[in-house]
């Protein structure tokens, strides 16, 4: 019921599909990091979590009006 992506450094990004309603707030907060399909958000294909913009992913987690996104930085955060 969740779309989960793990980075090489232990970074983890998940979208809880029991909550997500596909409104796209995450796409606006973290451009390029999410895609929308079937009224749900998913981590974008080929997203390299270790190298991604962590501030943007944190913004996406904070901006989600459905509280569906969890972002946990790995390694050195």
Partner 1 sequence: MPEMTPEATRGAADQAGPAVPVFKPYTAKADFPWEELARDRSRCPVAHSEHLDAVQISSYAGVKEVMNKVAEAFTGTYSTLWPLTEPLPVDQQVFPSADPPRHTRQRKLFVKALSASRIAHMRPFSERLAERLLDGILARGTGFDLVTAYSRRISEGHIAELLGLPEELRERFMYLSTLTELSTADGKGMGYRAELDEWQAQLAGMVRERRAAGEDSDDLITRLCFAEDEGDRLSELEVASLIRAMIRAGNTTSAAALTNTVAALERHPEQKAKYLADIEGLTPSLVEEGLRYDGPALGLWRRCARETTVQGYPLTPGDRVFTVTAAANHDPEVYDRPDEFLIDRDWKELPPHLTFGWGIHHCIGVNLARLELETSLAALYRRLPGLRLEPGAEIPQVPGPVFRNWLSLPMVFDPVSTGAGR
Chain residues binding partner 1 by CB under 8 A are: 1, 17-25, 39-40, 63, 65-68
Q: Which is nearer to partner 1, 2 or 9 (CB)?
A: 2
Q: Which residues contact 62 (CB under 8 A, 6 or more apart)?
A: 29
57: left (phi over 0), alpha (psi -120 to 50) or beta: alpha
Kindly state the smallest distance separating residue 10's Cβ from partner 1, in Å: 27
Q: Which is nearer to partner 1, 5 or 15 (CB)?
A: 15
Q: Which is nearer to partner 1, 21 or 72 (CB)?
A: 21
> How many CA atoms does the CB half-sphere of 17 hold within 13 Å?
12
């Amino acid at each position: 019921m969740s779309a989960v992506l793990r980075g090489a450094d232990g970074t983890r990004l998940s979208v809880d599909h029991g909550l997500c309603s596909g409104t796209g707030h995450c796409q606006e907060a973290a451009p390029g990091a999410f895609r929308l399909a079937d009224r749900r958000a998913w981590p974008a294909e080929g997203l390299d979590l270790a190298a991604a913009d962590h501030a943007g992913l944190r913004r996406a987690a904070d901006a989600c009006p459905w509280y569906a996104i969890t972002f946990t930085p790995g390694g050195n955060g």
